[in-house]
Amino acid sequence: MCGRFVAASPSVEIARYFDAELVNDLLSEPALEPNFNVAPTDDVPAVVVRDDARRLSVFHWGLVPFWAKDPSVGSRMINARAEGLAEKSAFQNAFRQRRCLVPADGFYEWKRISGQKKKQPYYLYRSDGEPLAFAGLWERWRRPRDQRATPDEALRSCTIVTTDANEVVGALHDRMPVILPASAWEEWLDPENDDTEALSRLLVPAPADVLTLHPVGPQVSDVRNGGPDLITAVAPDEPGEVAIQGTLL
């Protein structure tokens, strides 16, 4: 599961890290404001390959299949389970032809507190401080012609692929986003590559040492909050539980 994440790095830095060109909607900074609490249906940056070049552009988070009657279906498609990409109608075409990377500084998960209704939120991020590259799928959806503001108006949307949790995330949730290493980016992004069996082998949990985590305050649970204080480490609510180097003790 990946229901909230952080996309706070400037677009120019993201483009440089992923060796991508900025597309028109990101050329005028800040096209996307730094967001420390990205929520479903927000706009997010994503890397795709077009005309043999990597391009960083803006996408709506929540995939809207081309056959959808309206874009509201996207709010239920923020994640796509790796195990069903080749069979599920909402994802199978995108899996073969329209894959992307969704850059993130980190993401959030919540842990149940024994005997309480509330949950303790945690912030997870790369141990080396580098950006995360979530495996994603993207689609282009068009309204009926008589409802378009312009003839070529289209909604570009994306979803984040999830897999079984590794040891770090598993202490909080049984699913995690697929985090692709740089060595897999070219294969994943290649629009000419439709070998879904080979692509599926990339969709595995990241090694445990890739991620670290720490508890954060309850403010992150409210989507109206989006400042940098959301990722500040706090003492966990559950006595005796602390996070050190990705290990819950």
Instruction: Give pLDDT, residue 153.
Output: 66
Does the global pTM surpass 0.75? yes
Instruction: Give pLDDT, residue 143.
Output: 76
pLDDT for residue 32 is more than 90: no
CA distance linking residue 68 with residue 175, whole number of Å = 27
Beta bridge partners of 163: 176
Question: 126: phi > 0 → left, psi -120 to 50 → alpha, else beta; which?
Answer: beta
Check 2, 100, 139, 158 and give the catalytic one: 2
User: In angstroms, how far is CA 111 from the centroid of its own chain?
Assistant: 20
The total domain count for the chain is 1
CA distance linking residue 134 with residue 99, whole number of Å = 11
Is residue 139 annotated as a catalytic residue, yes or no?
no
Query: 111-115, 145-149, 169-173, 212-216 — which is least confidently predicted?
Result: 145-149
> pLDDT grade, residue 245 (50/70/90)?
very low
pLDDT for residue 35 is more than 90: yes
DSSP 179: B
> pLDDT grade, residue 39 (50/70/90)?
very high
- At 94-139, the pLDDT tens digits run 999 999 999 999 999 999 888 788 899 999 999 999 999 999 999 9
Q: Which domain holds residue 38?
A: 5-248
DSSP-based three-state secondary structure for 163: strand
CATH of the domain at 214: 3.90.1680.10
For all residues of the chain together, what is the average pLDDT? 90
Is residue 100 annotated as a catalytic residue, yes or no?
no
Check 100, 109, 139, 158 and give the catalytic one: 109
CA distance linking residue 109 with residue 27, whole number of Å = 32
